[in-house]
Amino acid sequence: MPRRYLHRAALLALLALALALSAGAGVRAQSSADWTALYRPALLPDFWGDMEAWADAPRYTLDLMLAVNAEEAVIGGQATVRYTNRAPSATLETLVFRLYPNLDSFGGEMTVGRVTVAGQTVTPQLDATRSVLTLPLPRPLGYGESVDVALSFRVRVVAGRERLYAQFSYLDEVLALPNAYPLLSVYEAGAGWWEEVAHPQGDAVFSETGFYDVRLTVPADWQVAASGTTLTERDNGDGTRTLHIAAPLMREFAWFASPRYATLSAEQDGVTVRCHYDPARPQAETNAEMALRVTREAVRTYNRAFGRYPFAELDVVQTPNRAAGIEYPGVFVVASPVWDAGDDFFAFVLAHETAHQWWYSLVGNDPVRTPWMDEALAQFSVALYIRAQEGEAAYQAALESYRREYTRYIEQYPDQVIGLPVSAYPQDAYFFMVYQKGPLFYAALADEYGLEALLGALRDYFAAYRYRIAYPEDILSEFERSLDYGVDALFAEWVGVVPVG
C-alpha cells in the first residue's frame, strides 16, 4: 500500500512516540524492564520465565504492508533487528541476513533498500543468488555486545508461479509467505556465518530463536494465519486492517493469507489449535474437524511424550503447496489435495507436521546438512502418535510400513546411512533413507534399551535443547548420558560418523 494511506492516527502515534522518547531515559528504562509483557499472550504462563533467559536472542520488529491484485502480491516492509553477539570467542565484522524469497526454489523477488547499523547507513553486499546479504559493521561487535539494524525491503510474489514445493507462492487466492523478511542467518563458532544456498529438495532455512513484534496491514477482507498470537486487530477505515502479532521464542515468522479462509478452533492443554481452510472445497467441514481432532491429539501425545509445547497457539493451514505438508514455528501447512482426501495419509501428515513443532521449531537443526535430526524424529513421532491412538499393534504396523518401504528401496539401490546432508542423497534416496530408514533408527534404539528409556532420552534431549540448535554430537551425548555410553555403536551403524562432542 502506498504511503498516502498513512492516516492521522498514525501521525499522532508517531508524535506520541517522539514525545515519549524525548521524555528521557526514565521512560526507556521502565519499558525495557517490562519488554516481555508484550509477548506474554503468545506463551502459556508456565513459560513466561523463558523469555528473560533468552533476552539476548535476536529481536525483530516488522512493519509489513500487503498490496495484492490478481497478478501479484507486494509486501512493503520495514524491519528493525537487535542482534547480540553470543559467540564467546568471536568478534564479528559482519552480519549476514538471508533473503530466502530470492532462492530459485522460492521463486519470489526481494529487494532491500536503505540499511542502517547503529544509526549509520551501510552498503550491504549480495551474493550471486541474491539470497545472502552481508552487512559490514561500522565497528566490530565483541562478545556480549548488541547492535541495532534497520532495513527497508520489498517482496514480490507473482500469481501462479510455482517452484519446487510452491512453499512461497500466490495460488488460488492463497498467499504463502514464509521468510518474507530479511532473516538473520546463524553464526557458527569456527565456521562463521551459515551461507548455504543449494536447495534441491527438503527444507532451506536455518535460523536462531528470536522475538517477533509484527504489525501486518492487509486488505480488510483477507484472513491471516501466522506464527504467534494476534494481540489486536484494527480496521483502518481505508479498506485495510492492521494486525499486531507477537511471536516470541520462534526461529522464523511465517504468514499465510486468503480471502477464502474459514477457521475452526479448539483448545488442547491450554493451546488454541486453529485450522484455516477453504469452506468451498469438498467435505470442507468434515475435513476441518478431522484436522482439528488429529492436531489436538498429536499435541496431547507429544506434550506427554517429549515435554510441553510452550506457545499459546498452533495454526494449521490448507494451502496449494506440493509437499504434502511444511512446518514453520507455531504454524504448518497441509496441501489442499491431501486435506481434501480426509484419509489416513491426511492424519499422517498432520501428526508429522505437528511433531516438527518439537523437532525443528523448538529444537532447531540445520535442515540442509543434518535433515535426519528433525525428519527422522518427526516420522518416529507419528508412530508414537499411532501408538497413543490405536495401541501397540498399530505402532508395530507403522514401523513395519517404514521397514517395508526402506527394504523395497535397498533391493534396487545402494543403502546409505541416515546422517548425510540432503545433497549426498540421489533424488529418491533422500526420502527413503531419511524418512523411511530414519525412524527405524529410533525403533532400533527402542529394541536395544526399551521404549520407555528411549522416551526418557528424548525428553532429556528436548529439555536440554529447547529453543537452541542441536548438532549430531549433541543428540549423541544426550543419549549417552540418558541411555548408555555404548549407544555410539548404533549411531555409527545408522547415522554414520558423528564427531565427538
If the CB atoms of residues 110 and 351 are measured against Zn ion, the closer one turns out to be 351
* Contact region with Zn ion (CB under 5 A), list: 58-66, 216-224, 371-379, 408-416: 371-379
Angle at 318 between CA 468 and CA 205, to 5 degrees: 30
Min separation Cβ 353 and Zn ion, Å: 7
If the CB atoms of residues 181 and 348 are measured against Zn ion, the closer one turns out to be 348
* Contact region with Zn ion (CB under 5 A), list: 79-87, 369-377, 384-392, 400-408: 369-377
Min separation Cβ 354 and Zn ion, Å: 11
Question: Scanning the structure block, which residue is given the C-alpha cell 542467518?
Answer: 185
Q: Is 242 helix (H, G, I), strand (E, B) or coil?
A: strand
If the CB atoms of residues 311 and 348 are measured against Zn ion, the closer one turns out to be 348
Q: Which of 397, 353, 395, 400 is nearest to 377 (CA)?
A: 353
The one-letter amino acid code at 155 reads V
If the CB atoms of residues 73 and 378 are measured against Zn ion, the closer one turns out to be 378
If the CB atoms of residues 278 and 375 are measured against Zn ion, the closer one turns out to be 375
> In whole angstroms, how far apart are CA 38 and each of 14, 55, 77, 276?
19, 13, 21, 25
Question: Scanning the structure block, which residue is given the C-alpha cell 508524535?
Answer: 15
* Contact region with Zn ion (CB under 5 A), list: 283-291, 368-376, 384-392, 402-410: 368-376
CA distance linking residue 123 with residue 484, whole number of Å: 52
Binding mask 271-300 for Zn ion (x = CB under 5 A): ------------------------------
* Contact region with Zn ion (CB under 5 A), list: 269-277, 370-378, 441-449, 468-476: 370-378
Q: Which residues contact 115 (CB under 8 A, 6 or more apart)?
A: 121, 122, 123, 124, 135, 149, 150, 151, 152
Min separation Cβ 134 and Zn ion, Å: 30
> In whole angstroms, how far apart are CA 277 and each of 320, 430, 485?
11, 30, 48
Question: Scanning the structure block, which residue is given the C-alpha cell 540418558?
Answer: 482
Total of residues contacting Zn ion (CB under 5 A): 2
Min separation Cβ 62 and Zn ion, Å: 26
If the CB atoms of residues 226 and 378 are measured against Zn ion, the closer one turns out to be 378
If the CB atoms of residues 131 and 357 are measured against Zn ion, the closer one turns out to be 357
If the CB atoms of residues 187 and 360 are measured against Zn ion, the closer one turns out to be 360
Min separation Cβ 459 and Zn ion, Å: 21
Dihedral sign computed on CA atoms, order 365, 366, 367, 370: negative
Min separation Cβ 116 and Zn ion, Å: 38
**318 phi and psi, to 5 degrees?**
-80, 120
Angle between helix 372-390 and 284-306 (nearest 10) = 100
Min separation Cβ 408 and Zn ion, Å: 21
If the CB atoms of residues 375 and 474 are measured against Zn ion, the closer one turns out to be 375
Question: Scanning the structure block, which residue is given the C-alpha cell 543403502?
Answer: 415
Min separation Cβ 361 and Zn ion, Å: 11
Min separation Cβ 197 and Zn ion, Å: 21
Calculate the dihedral angle through the C-alpha atoms of 296, 298, 299, 301, rounding to the nearest 10 degrees: 120
Q: Do 434 and 367 touch, CB atoms closer than 8 A?
A: no
CA distance linking residue 266 with residue 244, whole number of Å: 22
If the CB atoms of residues 256 and 359 are measured against Zn ion, the closer one turns out to be 359
**66 phi and psi, to 5 degrees?**
-95, 130
> In whole angstroms, how far apart are CA 316 and each of 289, 290, 291?
12, 11, 8
CA distance linking residue 170 with residue 161, whole number of Å: 7
Q: Tell which positions 244-273 bind Zn ion, by CB under 5 A.
A: none
Min separation Cβ 263 and Zn ion, Å: 24
Min separation Cβ 376 and Zn ion, Å: 9
Q: Tell which positions 372-401 bind Zn ion, by CB under 5 A.
A: 375, 378
Cβ-in-10-Å burial (0-12, 13-18, 19+) of 72 comes to middle
C-alpha cell at 129: 543468488
If the CB atoms of residues 151 and 351 are measured against Zn ion, the closer one turns out to be 351
Which residues of this protein are in contact with Zn ion, per CB under 5 A?
Answer: 375, 378
